[in-house]
């Protein structure tokens, strides 16, 4: 036993080491090897537990107003709006069913549900089971025991709590006395509007302190009020909020609006002189001045359908609801697929045991260590090829990613046969894995890492246009292939339609498109254009969106790096 081995033995006896590491190796080298391996293990065991707990916690998030169970939203916007409206109406009907059918309420104060929206619907205008002929008409028409009466603008409207008969939102009367009419409204219709206004007001309050929420509101507003961009408003009288609206709409100067390249269409000319213009302006003013909406946005009238909401406020609010519900559903879907990745097959995110010393030396000295926190190579690697790939990565990363570094992220080159994938990225564990036989999968996984490290870029509103256009094109491709009798997707399994439409997957694929199609990059780390599948649609509009977005993202990678230094 030499002096190094004796010293290690003393450390072991003293309890400093749990076991003697590499007794046959140089002490300094042995300690370095062990600490390097432990470095990888320590980070992932701790990060996994913490990150997963945070992620699972977010599963319980709803729209924060009510614990609604929304179905998977249709990709068609109109159908998605119907799904959202129907889910809210179902919730309202369930709440009204909780009212005791056999009890006649004498006061509105006995029913707590109405106070959920008391800030919008004044309770002094509400009464329950009002003693009058109209209440009896409503009971006969709807079969409801309890009738809610709402007084608005000197008119009474009657809302059955639990109707047992079908009826329309219109006026009813007894044949024996046609002069006395009762305007009867479905509870789920009026409270749907109250719910939407309440939800919108919540977002307005939130937008005052959250930039992302503010951006979502303004961009979806612009989408639903685009006709206002051609509204002829005197520049001297134009308020600041409308000028900002025009700028956000893509007009650099307020005067741009008055020098259109084409004459206004007949529809736009009539819109500029219609009464609807003030409704549109009212909505824009509320959003841009962070002013909450009140009950006046619900319109009551003495004609069918009796109640409605100022257009296009309902479409705008449903768009915001669709955005946030879709984000929650997408997050849950991604968690489902990540759980599948971390299944019972050999775990690619764990460091292999008994790594040969010559491979361990390659791991420690690899240039990849300058960009990742820990590096692992499979024992079957060809060392010269790995060095060539590493050099190629340094050049690629410098040219297109501004020398971006993945902090606290592990990079592993392994065999992934049983995973049925050429590359993997474990978000919870901050681990990027590439199959040693398919190095061209690296860029795809690298974009996953960038997405994760930069706080989920794919989930931000700025990525919405790309995701929506990509989804439309992919669905169109699949539909056309089915017409031709070609099946390109399985309905179940990992690589189903839901997998391809995950926001994080769209982000990674569009990142590849940005490099190989738009910048014409050729690299061993990037799939060749000829090998790309249907999941990489070629479309002028999509390509333009991708170029603008990813140019900005990669540029900011360099800015962030300089700030850290």
**DSSP character string of 415-480:** --GGGT-SEEEETTTTEEEEETT-GGGHHHHHHHHHHHHTT-GGGSGGGHHHHHHHHHHHHHHHHH
Q: Categorize the per-residue pLDDT at 329 as very low, low, confident or very high, splitting at 50, 70 and 90.
A: confident
Q: What are the tokens at 220? A: 């979806």
CA 545 to chain centroid? 18
H/E element holding 141? helix 133-142
Q: Categorize the per-residue pLDDT at 59 as very low, low, confident or very high, splitting at 50, 70 and 90.
A: very low
Please give the C-alpha separations between residue 102 and each of 99, 105, 126, 135, 172, in angstroms, as whole numbers.
9, 10, 21, 17, 25
244 or 350: which leads in pLDDT: 244
**Residue 20 reports pLDDT greater than 70:** no
The mean per-residue pLDDT over the stretch 184-195 comes to 92
**Residue 520 reports pLDDT greater than 90:** yes
Neighbours of 4 (CB within 10 A): 16
Q: What are the tokens at 186? A: 């479905």
The answer for 292, left when phi > 0, alpha when psi is -120 to 50, beta otherwise, is beta
Which pTM was predicted? 0.79
Work out the percent of the chain whose per-residue pLDDT is above 70.
76
As a whole number of angstroms, the distance between CA 335 and CA 291 comes to 37
The mean per-residue pLDDT over the stretch 395-412 comes to 92
Q: Categorize the per-residue pLDDT at 418 as very low, low, confident or very high, splitting at 50, 70 and 90.
A: low
Q: What is the pLDDT of residue 170?
A: 94
Work out the percent of the chain whose per-residue pLDDT is above 90.
43
Neighbours of 11 (CB within 10 A): 14
542 or 14: which leads in pLDDT: 542
The residue count of the chain comes to 565
Q: Categorize the per-residue pLDDT at 48 as very low, low, confident or very high, splitting at 50, 70 and 90.
A: very low
As a whole number of angstroms, the distance between CA 92 and CA 88 comes to 6
Neighbours of 136 (CB within 10 A): 14
The mean per-residue pLDDT over the stretch 13-24 comes to 47
**Residue 280 reports pLDDT greater than 80:** yes
Q: Categorize the per-residue pLDDT at 264 as very low, low, confident or very high, splitting at 50, 70 and 90.
A: low
**Residue 101 reports pLDDT greater than 80:** no
Q: What is the pLDDT of residue 78?
A: 93
Are 377 and 386 in contact by the 8 Å Cβ rule? The answer is yes
Q: What is the pLDDT of residue 23?
A: 42
Cα atoms found within 13 Å of the Cα of residue 374, Cβ hemisphere only: 24
**Residue 351 reports pLDDT greater than 90:** no
Average predicted confidence (pLDDT) for the chain:
81
Is the bond preceding 422 in cis, omega lying within 30 degrees of 0?
Answer: no
Surface-to-core class of residue 430, CB atoms within 10 Å of its CB (0-12 exposed, 13-18 middle, 19+ buried): buried
- Please tell me the least confidently modeled range out of 143-147, 282-286, 302-306, 551-555: 302-306
The mean per-residue pLDDT over the stretch 471-495 comes to 81
As a whole number of angstroms, the distance between CA 328 and CA 396 comes to 34
The mean per-residue pLDDT over the stretch 125-151 comes to 90
The mean per-residue pLDDT over the stretch 524-549 comes to 90
Q: What is the pLDDT of residue 322?
A: 93
**Residue 75 reports pLDDT greater than 50:** yes
Q: What is the pLDDT of residue 54?
A: 39
Q: Categorize the per-residue pLDDT at 232 as very low, low, confident or very high, splitting at 50, 70 and 90.
A: confident
Please give the C-alpha separations between residue 247 and each of 237, 299, 301, 344, in angstroms, as whole numbers.
17, 31, 37, 53
- Please tell me the least confidently modeled range out of 155-159, 336-340, 349-353: 349-353
**Residue 448 reports pLDDT greater than 80:** yes
**Residue 395 reports pLDDT greater than 90:** yes
Q: Could you tell me which residues come within 8 angstroms of residue 271 by beta carbon, excluding any fewer than 6 positions away? A: 227, 277
Q: What is the pLDDT of residue 423?
A: 87
Q: Categorize the per-residue pLDDT at 47 as very low, low, confident or very high, splitting at 50, 70 and 90.
A: very low
The mean per-residue pLDDT over the stretch 487-503 comes to 78
The mean per-residue pLDDT over the stretch 422-430 comes to 85
Helix, strand, coil abundance in the chain, percent, nearest 5? 55, 10, 35
- Among 157, 170, 200, which residue's Cα sits nearest to residue 312? 200
Q: Categorize the per-residue pLDDT at 19 as very low, low, confident or very high, splitting at 50, 70 and 90.
A: very low
């Amino acid at each position: 036993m030499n002096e190094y081995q004796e010293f290690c033995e003393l450390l072991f006896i003293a309890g400093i080491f749990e076991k003697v590491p590499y007794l046959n190796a140089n002490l300094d080298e042995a300690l370095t090897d062990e600490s390097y391996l432990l470095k990888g293990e320590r980070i992932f065991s701790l990060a996994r537990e913490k990150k997963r707990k945070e992620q699972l916690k977010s599963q319980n998030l709803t729209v924060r107003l009510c614990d609604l169970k929304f179905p998977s939203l249709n990709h068609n916007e109109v159908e998605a709006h119907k799904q959202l409206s129907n889910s809210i109406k179902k919730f309202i009907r369930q709440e009204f069913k909780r009212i005791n059918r056999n009890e006649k309420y004498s006061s509105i104060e006995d029913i707590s549900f109405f106070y959920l929206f008391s800030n919008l619907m004044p309770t002094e205008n509400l009464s329950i089971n009002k003693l009058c002929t109209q209440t009896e008409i409503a009971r006969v028409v709807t079969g409801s025991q309890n009738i809610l009466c709402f007084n608005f603008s000197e008119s009474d409207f009657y809302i059955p709590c639990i109707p047992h008969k079908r009826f329309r939102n219109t006026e009813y009367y007894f044949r024996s006395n046609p002069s006395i009419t009762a305007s009867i409204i479905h509870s789920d219709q009026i409270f749907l509007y109250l719910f939407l206004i309440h939800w919108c007001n919540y977002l307005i309050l939130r937008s005052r302190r959250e930039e992302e929420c503010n951006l979502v509101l303004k961009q979806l507003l612009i989408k639903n009020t685009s006709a206002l961009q051609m509204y002829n408003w005197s520049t001297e009288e134009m308020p600041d909020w409308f000028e900002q609206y025009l700028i956000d709409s893509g007009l650099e100067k307020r005067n741009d609006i008055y020098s259109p390249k084409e004459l206004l269409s007949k529809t736009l000319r009539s819109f500029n002189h219609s009464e609807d213009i003030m409704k549109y302006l009212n909505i824009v003013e509320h959003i841009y001045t962070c002013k909450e909406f009140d009950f006046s946005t619900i319109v009551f009238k003495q004609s069918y359908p009796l109640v409605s909401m100022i257009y296009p406020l309902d479409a705008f609010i449903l768009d915001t609801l669709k955005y946030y519900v879709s984000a929650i559903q997408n997050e849950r879907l991604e968690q489902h697929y990540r759980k599948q990745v971390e299944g019972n097959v050999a775990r690619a995110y764990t460091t292999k045991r008994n790594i040969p010393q010559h491979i361990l030396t390659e791991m420690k000295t690899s240039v990849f260590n300058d960009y990742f926190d820990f590096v692992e190579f499979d024992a079957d690697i060809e060392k010269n090829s790995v060095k060539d790939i590493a050099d190629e990565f340094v050049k690629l990363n410098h040219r297109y990613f501004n020398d971006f570094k993945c902090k606290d992220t592990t990079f592993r080159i392994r065999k992934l046969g049983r995973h049925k994938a050429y590359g993997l990225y474990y978000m919870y564990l901050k681990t990027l894995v590439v199959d040693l036989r398919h190095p061209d999968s690296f860029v795809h996984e690298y974009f996953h890492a960038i997405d994760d490290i930069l706080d989920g870029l794919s989930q931000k509103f700025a990525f919405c246009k790309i995701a929506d256009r990509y989804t439309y094109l992919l669905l169109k491709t699949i539909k056309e292939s089915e017409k031709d009798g070609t099946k390109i997707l399985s309905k179940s399994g990992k690589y189903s339609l839901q997998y391809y439409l995950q926001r994080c997957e769209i982000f990674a694929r569009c990142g590849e498109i940005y490099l190989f199609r738009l910048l014409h990059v050729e690299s061993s780390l990037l799939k060749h254009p000829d090998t790309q599948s249907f999941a990489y649609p070629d479309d002028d509009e999509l390509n333009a969106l991708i170029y603008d977005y990813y140019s900005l993202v990669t540029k900011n990678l360099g800015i962030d790096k300089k700030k850290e230094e």
